[in-house]
Amino acid sequence: MVETAPGVFIGTPGRRVRDRFWGVLAERIGEGQAVMAEPANNEQGWAVRTAGRDRWKPVDFDGVMLMARPRR
């Protein structure tokens, strides 16, 4: 993986590395927010994970993943 900007990582790690990276990130996120797109067997071919306070949530809408914004 390459850090293209502070906190922005680009790459194609294996599943175990990706899961471990996400676990550490979600544990240490604090007041920040994080989003990860990863390959998946669905209509779009990818899925999204989110972490952090007041986070947007991925929702399945008839087989299409959309991001639901929290109400304020």
Residue 39's closest CA among 53, 8, 18?
A: 18
28: phi then psi, degrees, rounded to nearest 5: -105, 10
Give 2's strand partners: 10
Q: Is the pLDDT of residue 16 over 90?
A: yes
Residue 48's Cβ-count burial label (10 Å; 0-12, 13-18, 19+) is middle
Torsion angle in degrees (nearest 10) through CA of 70, 11, 60, 40: -160
Instruction: Report percent pLDDT > 70 for the chain.
Output: 99
Which residue segment(s) compose the domain that 35 sits in? 2-68
Predicted TM-score (pTM) of the model is 0.71
**Domain with 43 in it: what CATH number?**
3.30.70.240
Please report which confidence band the pLDDT of residue 69 belongs to, taking 50, 70 and 90 as the band edges.
confident
> For the segment 21-48, what is each residue's pLDDT rounded down to a tens digit?
899 988 888 888 888 888 888 888 888 8
